[in-house]
A = this chain, B = another copy of it.
Amino acid sequence: MDARITLEDQLRAMQGEHAMGNCPVRQVMQGIFGKWSTLLLQALGERPYRFGELRRLLPDISQRMLTQTLRDLERDGYIYRKVYATKPPSVEYGLTDLGKSMLGPLGELVRWASDNFTQVDAARKRFDIAGKA
């Protein structure tokens, strides 16, 4: 079985009402690859976290971006949001089944990036030094 998706596959999935720029596959991918989405998905892949815990885990995310990214991930069905009516209130975030099923493929790519970022970095330096920047 070939795991490759051809461009024709994607074109077929678009059926006219969608243009290339907003094909559904790409829309899904964009949701996963926001500036903080991948990091949050991986964190929640380990265990559920509370809002404040995530904030401390990602020291350089602003509160605004954390709230917004979590909301987007919840909207796409990757994570759940559970409010405990304690005093003061606490909110727990965790992966849904859909989110868990996505973490496999995403992990593959993260692993590739982790294994190859030095090569990418080297390529960038070569390109820039060659004056093509």
A residues with a Cβ closer than 8 A to B are: 3-7, 9-10, 13, 19-21, 23-33, 35-36, 38-39, 42-43, 45-46, 57-61, 71, 74-77, 98, 101-114, 116-117, 119-124, 126-128, 132-133
Contacts and interface: CB of A to CB of B under 8 A. Distances in A.
Contacts of A133: 75
Contacts of A107: 3-5
B10 A116 contact: no
A21 B65 CA distance: 11
Contacts of A31: 120
Nearest to A123: B77
A65 to B, nearest CB: 9
B110 A123 contact: no
15 contacts: A5-B114, A7-B42, A7-B43, A7-B46, A20-B58, A21-B36, A23-B39, A26-B39, A29-B33, A32-B113, A77-B120, A98-B116, A101-B112, A105-B112, A109-B109
A60 B112 CA distance: 30
Contact of A98 (B30, B32, B58, B123): B123
B7 A20 contact: no
Given A26-B38, A60-B21, A104-B3, A98 B113 contact: no
